[in-house]
Amino acid sequence: MPKRTDLKKIMLIGSGPIVIGQACEFDYSGTQALKALKEEGYEVVLVNSNPATIMTDPVLADRTYIEPIEPETVAKIIAKERPDALLPTLGGQTGLNTALAVAEMGVLDEYGVELIGATREAIMKAESRELFREAMANIGLKVPKSGIVHNLDDVRRVAQEISFPIIVRPAYTLGGTGGGVAYNMEDLEEIASRGLAASMKTEVMLEQSVLGWKEFELEVMRDRNNNCVIICSIENIDPMGVHTGDSITVAPAQTLTDVEYQRMRDASIAIMGEIGVETGGSNVQFAVNPEDGEMVVIEMNPRVSRSSALASKATGFPIAKIAAKLAVGYTLDEIPNDITRETQASFEPTIDYVVTKIPRFTFEKFPGTQDSLTTAMKSVGEAMSIGRTFKESLQKGMRSLEIGLPGLGKDFARPEQSVEDLLAASRTPRSTRLLTVRRALAAGATVEQLYEVTRIDPWFLRQIAEIVAMEEELKGFSLEHSIGVNPDTAAMLRRAKEFGFSDVQLASLWKKSAADVRGLRKELSIVPTYYLVDTCAAEFEAYTPYFYSTYETGRELTRSEKKKVVILGGGPNRIGQGIEFDYCCCHASFALRDMGVESIMVNSNPETVSTDYDTSDRLYFEPLTFEDVLNIIEMERPDGVIVQFGGQTPLNLAVPLLRAGVPIIGTSPDSIDRAEDRERFQALLNKLDLRQPANGTAMSFETARAEAESIGYPVVVRPSYVLGGRAMEIVYDSEALERYFREAVGASPEHPVLIDKFLENAIEVDVDALCDGTDTYVAGIMEHIEEAGIHSGDSACVLPPHTLPEAVVEEIRRQTCALATELNVIGLMNIQFAVKDGVVFILEVNPRASRTAPFVSKATGVPLVRLATRVMLGEKLKDLDPWSQRRRGYYAVKESVFPFNRFPGTDVLLGPEMRSTGEVMGVDPSFALAFMKSQLAAGVNLPHEGTVFISVNERDKKAVLPAARIFQEVGFRIVATGGTAAFLAEHGVNAEKVLKVHEGRPNVVDLIKNREIHLMVNTPSGKKTVHDSAILRQTALLYGLPYTTTAAGAWAIALSIRERGGNGLKVQSLQEYYGR
Amino acid sequence: MRALLALEDGFTLTGTSFTGPGESNGEVIFNTGMTGYQEVLTDPSYAGQMVCMTYPHIGNYGINAEDMESRRVFVEGFIVKECCKTPSNWRATMSLPDYLTQNGIMGIEGVDTRALTRHLRLHGAKRGIISTEDVTPEELAQRAKAAPLMEGSNLADAVTLPEPYVWTGAATAPARIVDGAYDWPGPGPRVVVFDFGVKWNILRLLTEQGFDLLVVPSSYTAAQVAALRPDAIFLSNGPGDPAALTATIAELKLLTDAYPVAGICLGHQLLGHALGGRTFKLKFGHHGCNHPVKDLTDGHIEISSQNHGFCVDIDSLSDVQLTHVNLNDRTLEGFAHKTRPIIAIQYHPEASPGPHDSRNFFNRFRTMVREATGR
């Protein structure tokens, strides 16, 4: 059946900001879908609030709405665009829920919009725990015993029927939000009430736990003729009880017989039919009892999911692209398989390697939260690795994580803990459990003992035991007498590489340098070969250039003689380094393609567009370590290597690669060092006569106190050796300084602490610029909405600046150009300024692409990264002329999105340490409305009316006054704590006094819980009293109360509430803003 | 123990024997199934062949008592990347190395199976040899040529059981044939199954359809079959070159005139010959669990289990309707006679290993028998 011709215009909903459980995999799926629909000649309308995505590039969709993804806004876009169909299955849970909501509002019926891919009934059947359970019963499949509850009374009743531990699974939520494992009634009531609050339909399922059962997933595709194919099977190393997003998973399944696998396959196909997923991809999860093979269905997602992205990258089968084509009417046998060209999409990929996915966690940023893994997802990113064997794949995966591990195991020191302690530590699932398992095995624990405590399948445990045994063998191998003479050396080294050991690991085992190991290896011609990911285990010739390294004998890769450039990607997502850098890498690749230069991508993150096989001319799915990257470069011999687009990961490789003779293009690593090295940076500023805040370095608390006093409090303190604002704090007095030294860091001559003057109430400004060595294009000047002191990645900002005087903007522009020229920047640079009392200070200079590059590109209509890439290859700005492409006449506000609801117990205060996972953009001709849109997009629905609660510290009282006046003016009732209320009253703002938590009851927390407060303004004072107000902010978070923790934020909120008045927000596409 | 694999064209790879010393030869083919090695090992269709599994980890779930497809291992040798010595599965009763060793079959691991697979794809299936003897690769490649060529090989007669038997539901048992006649015990339609190397799952699924089965050796003549008074004939899968079974083809010409007949795999090829068609050897055959087959009668696509090195030439048949085609290479996968009750498919509706998408073939056979015989 060919594609449908009754549809002309199709709308796609993206997944919005990056949050835990919903990351760039939906940019990957949405981008594939967009391209597929455009290829078929459809007009495509996209809504996605996330400016850092590739999919929101204005060249991809016909109409790109960077607007909040929430039902009312989407309804407005539908009313305006009148699409024929809405494709809801490619934008994650957000896309699906929003589509369902607009369907329920009657908007789709009103405008005659058809839901394609999955009907409303199918979505409900899959998402509603109750309907799903019934559906499974209809087709004779077992599900764990469970009860559906809608309130706490139900919870208590159902708990009588199911034995503990009980799994709490909220319906219609993402990544297990609000779920968990309850071991007793108290746990249960707490988790269930959180779950009820998180569920869009106040529906939670209490489920009999199958903790410790084996967990599997199957990725299924179905077309309208009921043809079904299984793309991939995935086995979780972590058994049931850990969210699959937090589990280490392996593709394909390793421990199922064909009989068991086919039973799962049959069940998956039956589920597709029963749920009624018309077309597209779905994911089904199963649990299997390891004792007797009993199989139960856990859940299914009637949409493309994180696992689909993994399955696509693991097999080479482009699930999202095919899903889009199936949605418009094609059948699987009508869609060609790009990889083999001669076969169709109607087949099941078979693979001849092992894929391992390992999640990356960030517990260190959320103190107060325990590192323990449950059914609610907590990881912020993931790395995928490919090896010919599980051992090779696992070790590559561990080093792909970029957490300082060169493989499974680092220094191989004898574990100090006893076997008993290590076994006990292995029992609780944690982010580091596999390392504990390795240590336990090294200490002498048996596979049986570990199976007993972890329930990790013995097959996996034995594989790890084999790696540990290999370590021992390598340790015992005497290298000294053998270099170059012992024929066993080559065999030993080759075996070690086949087991996935990195040069760094071998160096550590043999007490050599990694360079020595590399030298020896090359002398013995032990170098990796690159094998193809071809969907068919070499049965057919493959054309897609998608490779992984392995130590095997064949040669499949031939180097082309074209001019070529390698782009190093950003690796697994983490806080501070995510989709923005993938956007940059992809754009570099697109630019190279436009220029006829062969683009070669190296990355290890399966969620990304950059690891799509058709983004670049060649893709290497490899860890971003010196060894793995240099191996590729030695094989490809590129004309240039780009390190400035992938964030800190490739930047850290720049100098070692340069020393190895690799041609790094763009800004020289020496310039990068000049900007990063504190002393050289100061010299640079002095030379240019530019200012930075007063600063100093301290090796001890005593010197720090002296420095701080000479600089003057408040000061910002941070260790010199960490990045991304880790352990960075603002201290207001020597007492706080002392506490910082006592609790946060210990300073020493090797690890000095840096002290900077903190510019209170300064306005922070981010600037992105593009320079070709001669000319500088100041691409975007972003004024932060929150005052200085909040990590730039966490603060909201607006482009163009909305309060800075033109003279200041001009001065910022001048300084930017001076720095760019002096540093001889070739490509992008980012500068952070602070403006205090009209004086411009420089906080930081980064001669590389910044997190804001995609935001600035979208906000100004200038494709910065593409231009930067051209500049890096020698083109000149005066020819590229970015100035004429610049669009104006509207404000773009970037707001950050935080994962606090995933980390119960952590304070939500913003500070110098970055903690946001994602961002959204609001665009409007009015600043206030652009800000309001950004809030709405970030999930904060600001009230029109009601009660605002204000409680600010002494320093902020004056600053919060303008906001309070506006709240009064627009008719809000104002309640405030004693001091604030008195201050406001003194200045003519009526505020009712409300009790603080420790002042008795009813207090402000009671008011929040009774939903009598609709907006909260709460700024904390110094670290000491922060904890007093933390409970307030946590309550606000739990009850979904809009809040701000800064006075500047309060002002922006007040402005936007006033400007919106009773009117709604207007929607407009980027193309319209650009005047296209 | 170090082992060497050599193909007749001189291609060699080294590995390690996980079944002790020995030497074995056969036609080297690759199988792309990621699960189901136990079924592959015991499938008589692999007689005369050494199988290279493309999935690198083989043996993970061991060997169990239930998933047998025949009475013993039929492959001549087993070539894998990594063999698991200690299996993990609740049904496992034995490890793969122990099972192969008990059956006297050589297994080698540590082989770059992808390099081997690519070689076979590019150059076609080859005769090969694996040996733990201390010989040069050149010498071993010479020895590989001593293995019989698959073309012209009559292997079905070698793997068939010499006497008729019945299927008890879990095993086979000798059938009592008295003066050439058989006293059918059950009420179901009576089907004589030709055993060219039949997989047990075919017998299981035919039984499930309510048929009474009598399995006869490949040498049975049309007259012998007639004496059994069956309602229908079923031709099993099996190894080797169908064209070499000239006697069987001659008998089938008689049988197809008289009975409803269905065939699978080798049975399909023999029916092709019996109806006047030809077969040819595929370059490297179809061996795996992921081949898409389109049912031309309703457009539905089945993901199929495949295992054949020969194929019926689509253009050589007349009087038949093509019912199934392979979507990968457009080769013939099934046909039905235009006027007579004869159906056949090239692939494996009984799966084991592989997807269950094609099980309706057994329903079709049941319906055809009912329509043709009223039983």
How confident is the model at residue B304, as a pLDDT? 97
Chain B closest CA to A454's CA: distance in Å?
Answer: 15
Distances (CA, A) of B264 to B268, B281, B311: 5, 17, 12
Any CB–CB contact under 8 A between B81 and chain A? yes
Nearest CA in chain A to B13: A553
Identify the active-site residue in B52, B84, B265, B289: B265
Question: Taking a C-beta distance cutoff of 8 angstroms, is the pair A271, A230 a contact?
Answer: no
What's residue A295's pLDDT? 97
Using the structure block, give the residue that is written with the tokens 């550590």.
Answer: A508
Question: B294 to chain A: which residues are within 8 Å by CB?
Answer: 333
User: What are B220-250's pLDDT values in tens digits?
Assistant: 999 999 999 999 999 999 999 999 999 999 9
Residues A77-102 as b/e (b if ≥16 CB within 10 A, e otherwise) read bbeebebbbbbbbbbbbbbbbbbbbb
Q: How far apart are CA A396 and CA A796, in angstroms?
A: 37
| Lowest-confidence region among A293-307, A694-708, A838-852, B181-195 | A694-708
A554 lies within 8 A of chain B by CB: yes
CB contact under 8 A, B327 and A343: yes
- The C-alpha atoms of residue A518 and residue B126 are separated, in whole angstroms, by 38
Show which of residues 192-231 on chain A sit within 8 Å of chain B, judged by CB atoms. Answer: 225-227, 229-230
- Burial code of B236-259, b = ≥16 C-beta within 10 A, e = fewer? bbbbbbbbbbeebbebbeebbeeb
Tell me which residue has tokens 């339609």: B189
The verdict on B333 touching A (C-beta cutoff 8 Å) is no
Q: What is the mean pLDDT of residues A1029-1054?
A: 87
The pLDDT score that the predictor gives to residue A789 is: 82
User: How far is it, in rounded angstroms, from Cα A563 to Cα A598?
Assistant: 6
Mean pLDDT, chain A, as a whole number?
92
- What are the backbone angles phi and psi of residue A900, rounded to the nearest 5°? -60, -35
Which spans in A165-253 are helix H?
Answer: 185-198
Conformation bin of residue B162: beta by default, left when phi > 0, alpha when psi is -120 to 50: alpha
Instruction: Judge whether B350 counts as a catalytic residue.
Output: yes
CA distance A388 to A743: 46
Q: Is the pLDDT of residue A485 over 90?
A: no
Which residues on adjacent β-strands are paired with residue A43? A9
Q: CA of B292 to nearest chain A CA: how many angstroms apart?
A: 5
A336–chain B Cβ distance below 8 A for any pair: no
Instruction: For residue B112, give the nearest of A229, A253, A553 by CB distance.
Output: A553
Interface contact flag, B291 A390, Cβ < 8 Å: no
Q: Running DSSP on this structure, what letter comes out for residue A336?
A: B
CB B359 within 8 A of CB B349: yes
Does the pLDDT of residue A760 top 70, yes or no?
A: yes
pLDDT of residue A193: 87
User: Residue A389: its chain B contacts at CB < 8 A?
Assistant: 56-57, 81-82
Lowest mean pLDDT of A206-220, A718-732, B48-62, name the range: A718-732
Can you give the pLDDT at residue A788? 81
The token pair that represents A112 in the structure block: 């005659």
Rounded distance, CA A995 to CA A991, Å? 13
User: pLDDT > 70: what percent of chain A?
Assistant: 97
Predicted local confidence at residue B31, as pLDDT: 97
Distance from CA of B250 to the nearest CA of A (A): 36
What are the residue ranges of helices labelled H in A797-906? 806-822, 853-860, 864-872, 877-880, 882-885
B93: contact with A, CB 8 A cutoff: no
Residue A219 φ/ψ, nearest 5 degrees? -100, 120
Rounded to 5 degrees, what are φ and ψ at A1016?
A: -130, 130
C-beta separation of A582 from A610 below 8 A: yes
* pLDDT level of residue A747 (50, 70, 90 thresholds): low
Q: What is the pLDDT of residues B81-120, one digit of tens each?
A: 999 999 999 999 999 999 999 999 999 999 999 999 999 9
Phi, psi angle pair for A707, to nearest 5°? -60, -50
User: Going by C-beta distance under 8 Å and a sequence separation of 6 or more, which residues neighbour residue A390?
Assistant: A250, A254, A354, A356, A460, A463, B57
From edge to edge, which strands make up the β-sheet containing A214-222?
A295-301, A280-288, A214-222, A228-236, A249-251, A354-360, A381-387
The mean pLDDT of A694-723, rounded to a whole number, is: 87
List the alpha helices (DSSP H) in A598-647: 626-636
Distance CA A623, CA A409 (A): 16
pLDDT in tens, A94-113: 999 999 999 999 999 999 99
Q: Which of A293, A388, A539 is facing B56, going by the closest CB pair?
A: A388
The answer for A 436-475 residues in CB contact with B (under 8 A) is 457-459, 462
Vertex B64 angle, CA B58 and B70, to 5°: 95
Instruction: Note the Cα B300 to chain centre separation in Å.
Output: 24
* pLDDT reported for residue B178: 95
Cα gap B10→B126, rounded to integer Å: 10
Q: Which is nearest to A833 in space by CA: A846, A842, A825, A822?
A: A842
User: Residue B215: which H helix or E strand, with range?
Assistant: strand B212-217
Range with lowest mean pLDDT among A162-176, A264-278, A597-611: A162-176
The whole-angstrom distance between B282's CA and the closest CA on chain A is 13
Mean pLDDT (whole number) for A526-533: 96
Collect all residues of chain B within an 8 Å Cβ-Cβ radius of residue A288: none
Q: Which residues of B touch A343 (CB under 8 A)?
A: 292, 327-328
Interface of A with B in 382-421 (CB under 8 A): 388-390
Please name the residue that has the structure tokens 């799994």: A167
pLDDT for A1061 beyond 90: no
Q: Using a CB-CB distance cutoff of 8 angstroms, which residues of chain B are in contact with residue A326? A: none
Model confidence band, residue A748 (pLDDT cutoffs 50, 70, 90): low
Sign of CA dihedral A235, A239, A241, A243: negative
Alpha-carbon distance of B76 to B347, in angstroms, equals 22
Once rounded to an integer, what is the mean pLDDT over residues A551-579? 94
3-state secondary structure of B38: helix
Residue A927, Ramachandran bin (φ over 0: left; ψ between -120 and 50: alpha; else beta)? alpha
At A682-700, the pLDDT tens digits run 999 999 999 999 999 888 8
Which of the following is catalytic: B119, B286, B287, B348?
B348
Interface residue A558 vs chain B (CB under 8 A): no
pLDDT for A1024 beyond 60: no
- Give the least confident one: A363-372, A716-725, A726-735: A716-725
Cβ–Cβ gap B289/A350 under 8 Å: yes
Torsion of CA B194, B199, B204, B210, to 10 degrees: -20
Residues of A in contact with B13 (CB under 8 A): 553
Query: B-contacting residues of A 347-376, CB under 8 Å?
Result: 347-354
Give pLDDT, residue B176: 95
> Nearest CB to B292: which of A347, A389, A531?
A347
Q: Quick one: tokens of A332? A: 């699987």
| Helices within A689-805 (DSSP H only) | 701-711, 734-743
Judging contacts by C-beta atoms under 8 Å, the chain A residues touching residue B29 are none
pLDDT at A724 (0 to 100): 59
Question: Residue A991 has what DSSP assignment?
Answer: -
pLDDT for A751 beyond 80: no
Among A258, A540, A552, beta carbon nearest to B114: A552
Confidence of residue A1040 (pLDDT cuts 50, 70, 90): confident
Structure tokens at A1002: 């009813």
Residue B301 to residue A539, Cβ atoms within 8 A: no
Q: List the single best residue of A250, A539, A553 to mutate versus B (max B Cβ within 10 A).
A: A539
What pTM did the predictor assign?
A: 0.96
pLDDT computed for residue B81 by the predictor: 98
What is residue A414's predicted lDDT score, i.e. its pLDDT?
64
φ and ψ of B223, to 5 deg = -65, -40
Contact A226 B300 (CB under 8 A): yes
Q: Is pLDDT at A411 greater than 80 in this prediction?
A: no
Which of A414, A429, A423, A420 lies closest to A450 in space, CA to CA? Answer: A423
Residue A1027 is predicted with a pLDDT of: 60
pLDDT confidence bin for B344, thresholds 50/70/90: very high
Is pLDDT of A1025 > 60? Answer: no
Amino acid at B338: K
Backbone angles phi, psi at A586, to 5 degrees: -65, -45
> For residues B231 and B251, what is the distance between their CA atoms, to the nearest angstrom?
17
Confidence tier at A213 by pLDDT (50, 70, 90) = very high
Distance of CA A368 to the CA centre of its chain: 21
pLDDT class of A930 with cuts at 50, 70, 90? very high
> Which tens digits make up the pLDDT trace of A607-625?
999 999 999 999 999 999 9
Residue A849 predicted with pLDDT over 60: yes
CB A309, CB A92: distance < 8 Å: no
Which position has the token pair 């403006």? A835
The rounded distance, in Å, linking the Cα atoms of A153 and A150 is 8
B231–chain A nearest CA distance, Å: 32
Handedness of CA B9, B13, B14, B15 (dihedral sign): negative
CB contact set of A982 (below 8 Å; sequence gap of 6+): none
Helices A25-39 & A306-315, crossing angle to 10 degrees?
Answer: 70
pLDDT at A750: 67
Does the beta-carbon distance from B289 to A349 stay under 8 Å?
A: no
Q: Which of A220, A258, A461, A488 to mutate to test the interface with B (most CBs of B within 10 A)?
A: A258
A858 Rama class: left (phi>0) / alpha (psi -120 to 50) / beta: alpha
- pLDDT per residue over A1006-1019, tens digit each? 999 899 999 999 98
The Cα–Cα gap between A985 and A972 comes to 15
Q: Does A773 contact chain B (CB < 8 Å)?
A: no
Q: Tell me the chain A residues in contact with residue B56 when contact means C-beta distances shorter than 8 Å.
A: 352-354, 388-389
Rounded CA Rg of chain B: 20
